[in-house]
Structure 1
Amino acid sequence: MRTRDFGRTGLRVSERGFGAWAIGGASFGAVPAEQALDALARAEALGCNFVDTAAVYGESEALLGRFLPGRRDRWIVASKYSGQPQGLTALVHEQLRRLNTDRIDFYQLHWAPRGKDEALFDELDALKRAGKLRFVGVSLRSAGDIDHVLARPGIDGLQICVSLLDPDPLLARLALLRARGVGVIARSVLKGGFLTGKYDAAARFTDPADQRRGWEPARIRMLAQQARAFDFLAASAGSLHAAAIAYPLSFPEVSTVILSCKSVEQVEANLGGAPPAALAPALLERIAQVQRQLGVSPASSGVRLWRRLKARIGLA
């Protein structure tokens, strides 16, 4: 698997990373420990060296703590603080014990703090100077979040949602990300599976976790229809799944995409096979045209708002 620079940190990360939310068992159903450990081992064999977890991901950190001994130097470990009541510093020490390590390579705040919460940045800096955290950043949502966070010094990387259906905030802030030279982790690149071709408009989700994510029938129908608009990519990329992974990697500002895996089969599907090739400029322009038509591009917020309204009231 190819690697890329993680901003200006000196780290080299695999282009595809292991998203460890699902193996924690808290949000997507129970996962047997041995199944999770086998998935991590297969990812390593395929050349993956980046794993993204968080304290709120159930047993995810504890499973990594079982997996990492003897191979710690082969992995770049990212985790997060999500506002737990014990506070940032106390949580980091708990996470170090769970992860069975003496440092976390990239540590993120799970939102873009404002107001009094901005004191967390000073706490991050202190933990970084103490050697508990090697590099720090924020997992955030919007272009405004990027502006706010990158106005501060000492930010090494960001995690943002990037997919064929979510070109913003990446495209809206490419120049700023390039100028600051931060590492960029792309999440949700498969849009909950809709950009794999796995689901159609008739799909229904009965798991409470999926219902909490907003997978009501109108939204499912909208996402399935939007995903079909990119079927033309299969001819050049081999499949919509492959094209969806290649899309964020077509921008050199992106360091890695994290793909959720909870079994060897999912690892093979997401991390195996030929390395995703960057999509050609002409193909990216056609994608941008489709994004504008769908109302999901940064320049079409009005159309996007109208489509969301139609989905909520159940219009076709």
Structure 2
Amino acid sequence: MPYRRFGATGLQVSEIGFGAWAIGGKAYGAVDVKDSLRALARAEELGCNLVDTASATVYGDSELVLGEFLRERRSRWIVATKYSFQPEGMTATLEAQLKRLGTDAIDFYQLHWLPGDPHLDDELYGLKKAGKVRFIGASIYAASDIDRVIDHLHLDGVQLPFSLLDPDPFLLRVDRLRQRGLAVLIRSALKEGFLTGKFRRDATFPDPNDQRHSWSAEKISRTFDEVERFRFLEADAGSLLRAAVAYPLSYPEVSSVLLGTKTAAQAESNFHEIPGARLSTPSLHRILTLQDEMDAGGRRRPAALVRRVLGLS
């Protein structure tokens, strides 16, 4: 398992992180808690040292399950979780999270999204000063969120979506992220599982608790077609799954790619088969060309800069 610098925090994190969102709820299908505990144990054996979850209701008992696992091994893990704007407020929510996780401090505490209330920023800074959290960040969704973090907040890192199919907002602000030196966690690298290559054009998700249940047949078909355009990467990386994770890891600004994991079998795949996967220079060139072709919105990514960051120019 290769490790990477976590921004300017001094932490070194596994390049593949354990996304624990699914281990306590049903948002990604039914869960066997015992299998989830085995998954965490296997991930640790394979070198994973970063786990990310949240306190939002949709994630159910994820923090409780994680706390049970960490009971005898807290020092081996970098624990990241989030404040999801519960009615009781940030400080009270954090205290409950610390209890569920069985720890005195959270390593990386994130706002689940950027709030409009500036006083919440002050409360977050205060929790860091008090030692309740070691480092702070935000889960973000748009390029404008990155601008706000860099221009107005004093955070240690961000978490954002980035995949072969959805390269923004990362590519739109890769220069600013590099200059600021923020830790960058990547989520949704597999595009809700479609970039594993295991779903067909006519895939359905009948479980109402599965967040893909609401996807229209048109959206599923369109996503399938987009995935097919990247099948050429299988020859380079060995599988579409490995290629999908190798792509964000091609950028040195990325600290770790979070992969949702809830079974021991998934842990074997995510933390044994994927780490170390890399893409060739010709493949990276072709990816950027395809992404430009798929960008109907004309977001004017800094193509020359992106190629320079990747060492392609």
**TM-score, normalization by structure 1:** 0.91
Deviation at 1:296, TM superposition (A): 6.5
The answer for the alignment partner of 2:94 in structure 1 is 92
In structure 2, give the amino acid aligned to 1:88.
M
The answer for the alignment partner of 1:79 in structure 2 is 81
In structure 1, give the amino acid aligned to 2:61.
E
Higher mean C-alpha deviation, range 268-277 or range 153-162 = 268-277
The answer for the alignment partner of 2:103 in structure 1 is 101
The answer for the alignment partner of 1:27 in structure 2 is 27
CA-to-partner distance for each residue in 1:95-123, whole Å, 9 max, x for gaps? 00000000000000011122xx2211111
The DSSP-based 3-state class of the residue aligned with 2:285 is helix
The answer for the alignment partner of 1:124 in structure 2 is 124
**TM-score, normalization by structure 2:** 0.92
Label 1:201 to 1:161 Cα distance change in 2 as closer, same or farther (>3 A): same
Separation in 2 of the partners of 1:68 and 1:233?
37
**Structure 1 gap segments, 5+ residues each:** 302-316
The answer for the alignment partner of 1:63 in structure 2 is 65
Separation in 2 of the partners of 1:270 and 1:16?
8
Deviation at 1:201, TM superposition (A): 0.8
How many aligned residue pairs are there? Answer: 299
Deviation at 1:26, TM superposition (A): 3.5
CA-to-partner distance for each residue in 1:150-186, whole Å, 9 max, x for gaps? 1124210000000000111111101100111000000
In structure 1, give the amino acid aligned to 2:36.
A
In structure 2, give the amino acid aligned to 1:130.
A
1:145 matched to 2:145: yes
1:280 matched to 2:280: yes
Higher mean C-alpha deviation, range 7-16 or range 29-38 = 29-38
1:44 matched to 2:47: no
Separation in 2 of the partners of 1:269 and 1:297?
35
CA contact (8 A) 1:245 1:276 kept: no
Deviation at 1:280, TM superposition (A): 3.0
The DSSP-based 3-state class of the residue aligned with 1:23 is coil
Label 1:297 to 1:232 Cα distance change in 2 as closer, same or farther (>3 A): farther
Using CA pairs under 8 Å that are at least 6 residues apart, name the structure with larger relative contact order, 1 or 2.
2
In structure 2, give the amino acid aligned to 1:167.
P
Higher mean C-alpha deviation, range 100-109 or range 61-70 = 61-70
* CA RMSD, Structure 1 to Structure 2 (Å): 1.6
**Structure 2 gap segments, 5+ residues each:** 302-313
Deviation at 1:215, TM superposition (A): 1.7
Deviation at 1:272, TM superposition (A): 1.3
Identical-pair percentage: 54
